[in-house]
Amino acid sequence: MEQVQVHPTAFVDPANPLAAVKFLAPEALRGSGGVLLNRQGVRFVNELATRDTVVGAMYQYAALDSPFHGHASTEAALEAAKKAHEAMPRAAEALLLLDQQAVNKFGLAAFNFYHRAKGFFQAVEGASGLVQYLTTLTGSPANQQAIGQTLADLTAAANGVIPDTVGRTVFVSNFTDALHSTLYVARVTGAIHYTMGGLAIDSTTRVMRTTLQACSSSECESEDDIVPIGGLYAAGEVTGGVHGANRLAGNSLLECVVFGRQAAVAAVTYSRSAPSSRSSY
């Protein structure tokens, strides 16, 4: 399996944090203005970056046992967390934070499904509420100064006063008075979302094989050494090479429709053909 896509935001259910199967936190929550913090209350990635970028940053800067404390600056702490991750990858968990404007943009009815029906979000009051939330979550006093600075910088960047600390340029919510207003916070982690590797197929969804026993597609002498397996067709997550290393949101449905139809047509055509005309492979 060459490529497996990890979605950066799957909810960690407060009622069952160790559940193996998790509920997806849709990207629209970030697109509507939501931001990601690590457990020290610091933003560490442009939340609108591609999934692989966000997940990579989470494992670098939001590892659960990240050595974040004891550094003079946020930059030094982030660099220490990155080096620790490179030495030994660990589990990661971030906080997804929205203000009321972001909630309204996402849609109050839809948000309340995650907030009230599922219990994934908790409402906190400004910086002091977030400090209390993180102190309870981690079991140690949260860094009030760092959290206050994060929220102040977020408000300033969202309103165009300063460049954003993580390079985000699009803010749907301006986080007005985030230091004191109601905020909504949820725990999120990476979760396997889509597999993008496996069987090699051609444009008609025929599954391909090599004629040389120890031959890989990059080592074969010519394209003639790669042949279809008669009567075997594939589409969707079992195949590879369609999305590269980073499937874009929504493209899985497109893939299923396009290649699923191709596979169905090809399979019917094959089944109706004369046995003598079928491939022996």
Distance CA 146, CA 124 (A): 17
HSE (CB half, 13 Å, CA atoms) of 114?
Answer: 27
What the block records as the tokens of 18 is 């160790």
φ, ψ for residue 192 (rounded to 5)?
-60, 130
Q: Tell me if 176 sits within 8 A of 124, measured CB to CB.
A: no
Is the four-CA dihedral 112, 104, 164, 8 of positive or negative sign?
positive
Which helix H or strand E contains 134, and what residues bound it? Answer: helix 126-138
Task: Name the nearest CA neighbour of 144 among 41, 68, 72, 35.
Answer: 41
Distance CA 216, CA 274 (A): 32
Q: Tell me if 239 sits within 8 A of 201, measured CB to CB.
A: yes
What the block records as the tokens of 51 is 């999934």
Active site residues: 7, 30
Strand, helix or coil at 218?
coil
